[in-house]
Structure 1
Amino acid sequence: MTDNNVTHDITKGPAPLDGALDALAVLGRQLEELVEAAGEAGWHADTPAEGWDVATQIAHLHWTDRASLAAIGDKAEFDALVEGAVADPEGFVDTGARELALLPRAELLAKWREGRDELAARLESLDPGTQIVWFGPPMRPKSMAVARIMETFAHGYDVADGLGAVPPGSPVSDRAPGFNGTAAEVASLPFVARIGHRTRNFSFQLNGEEPPASEFGLALAAPGGDTVTFGPGDAEQTVTGSLRDFCLRVTQRMALRDTDLVATGADARRWLDITQAFAGLPGKGRD
């Protein structure tokens, strides 16, 4: 049993990076290899995100790495990004990704790789208790590393879908390997689930609803047979199911009806309807 209640909380108190940077590095390399193998032919393949091809997905990951680096060490640049977000909350991320997606494929992949490596080095060099400014509440280094894992996981699925590494039209859990089921993806799941759990209240608030007063209990079956848990074991409101399906749901890469998740209690059921582990306006999710 993996009890995440006794490990470091990514939102409360300083925490070492543990295996977060390793998981992020391996996941990024795996996604890069998938894109490299597709060649120029796959660079502009459509993905499930409306209007985003593979190039735009990679550009978005690189844009966010650059924003993270600015948040750590370039106040003027980050302040300018915040001003852009305030001026155009619905479009500024999309605009940044589309501009970078115009770069030649080899150049963007190289810049993305360099940015990943630089961000990892900067995060590793920081004191665990450092408060890094962000578009929302400040984050500590581990929180930022976990957020990058979550985004790489989510956009990696979009890319794999666009490249045909997964058969279209089927629930993600049943799809063929390409991103799903690899060692890097499996290692990322507990990190993604943790940030999904910790953004429960955010999901309710984002939708104009009062967060439930009581904690939820989660028991999620990980690949290999372990169980990952969050929250009190005697909670009245619970969510059970597979760890992967939970991660795909909180990142809005899988429709709730296609998951094996079971919610007990009205509040828990509502959470699965609106859950969102990433910042920004309420997402549209997947049909």
Structure 2
Amino acid sequence: MMQEALDFRDESDTLAAVLADADDMLFATVTQFKSWTIEDVIGHLHIWNAAALMTLQDPDAFQRFLRDIMSAFKTGKSHIDVQYQWLDEHAGGVRGKALFDAYCDYYPRLAAAYGDADPEQRVAWAGPDMTTRSKIIARQMETWSHGQEIFDILGEQRQDGDRIRNIAHLGVTTYGWTFRNRRQEPPAPKPFVQLTAPSGTVWEWNDPQTDNMVRGSAVEFAQVVTQTRNIDDTALETLGTTARQWMEIAQCFAGGPETPPARGTRSMVTG
């Protein structure tokens, strides 16, 4: 089975476990991410998991899904509007705990399907086609990043494993994309990146440089590149102008340029 598919399943299991005893009232809790509720987050993950399975197993169905979603966006509907419309039309209008149960039933199927796929097989997506390995890593990244707002609002510290390397690697390899997405030329050379894994292993990317680097926790690096934390709310160390500039706007996910959260606005709730 493709390791990245196992990593996605483990990431999804970790999120599911923290919500295992949740009731409908808890799913209505508003998070620190764009005022989305926990229900909104689970709905978002669920419909794009469904899309990921479609693009692998039924490409025509995926194209219809994408056409309908994009058409709805063009009418001014938000991600939240669109996902609930899809749930009403294709998933029996599930909400709250029932939506969570549907999510938990679905993600293992997605992991199994991608686990059995050729890692280099290409599948369609909203942007350029990608390999199945890249696609399931993207699903892990989104599960982890949106999971952050759930762990934060519940005041729970997530226990991360070394599977987070997939997300850190995605953050490093989207260095150029971060700048080009903002119509800027990526500064050269790329910063040296040295991160400490949850296990204590040290991971490194790019050419060693003492005056152009990012170093620190792999978890905090992943938080910054997925824009779930402001760089100043972490202990990451940046050396050099380029490294700092990158970390202030880093974006490892697709779509138009997004502004990272302001300092102090995303954190784990305590007390």
TM-score normalised by L of structure 1? 0.81
- Which deviations, in whole Å up to 9, do the C-alpha atoms of 1:85-138 show, x marking residues without a partner? 376278553333344496233331232123212211221222122011111222
Alignment of 1:24-39 (within 5 A): 24-39=8-23
**Equivalent residue for 1:278, pick from 250, 253, 257:** 253
Q: Using the aligned pairs only, state the percent identity.
A: 25
Change (3 A) 1:189 1:95: same
**Equivalent residue for 2:127, pick from 131, 136, 151:** 136
Change (3 A) 1:263 1:86: farther
Q: Are 1:240 and 2:215 matched, yes or no?
A: yes
Q: Are 1:160 and 2:177 matched, yes or no?
A: no
Displacement of 1:220: 0.9
RMSD of aligned Cα (Å): 2.3
Displacement of 1:233: 2.4
**Residue of structure 2 equivalent to 1:219:** 194
**Residue of structure 2 equivalent to 1:174:** none
SS at match of 1:27: helix
Counterpart CA distance in 2 for 1:241 and 1:262 is 6
Per mean C-alpha deviation after superposition, the further-off stretch among 234-243 and 81-90 is 81-90
Alpha-carbon contact 2:27-2:97 (below 8 Å) kept: no
Q: Are 1:51 and 2:35 matched, yes or no?
A: yes
Moved over 4 A (4+): 89-92
Counterpart CA distance in 2 for 1:244 and 1:238 is 17
Displacement of 1:55: 0.4
Counterpart CA distance in 1 for 2:78 and 2:207 is 39
Residue ranges of structure 2 left out of the alignment (5+ in a row): 263-271
Counterpart CA distance in 2 for 1:87 and 1:37 is 34
SS at match of 2:20: helix
Residue ranges of structure 1 left out of the alignment (5+ in a row): 1-15, 167-176
Alpha-carbon contact 1:153-1:188 (below 8 Å) kept: no
Q: Are 1:88 and 2:63 matched, yes or no?
A: no
Counterpart CA distance in 2 for 1:112 and 1:120 is 12
Counterpart CA distance in 2 for 1:215 and 1:190 is 19
Counterpart CA distance in 1 for 2:193 and 2:143 is 23
Displacement of 1:271: 0.9
Amino acid at match of 1:250: V
**Equivalent residue for 2:83, pick from 97, 113, 130:** 97
**Equivalent residue for 2:102, pick from 93, 100, 111:** 111
Alpha-carbon contact 1:57-1:97 (below 8 Å) kept: no
Alpha-carbon contact 2:251-2:258 (below 8 Å) kept: yes
Amino acid at match of 2:82: G
Alpha-carbon contact 1:48-1:158 (below 8 Å) kept: yes
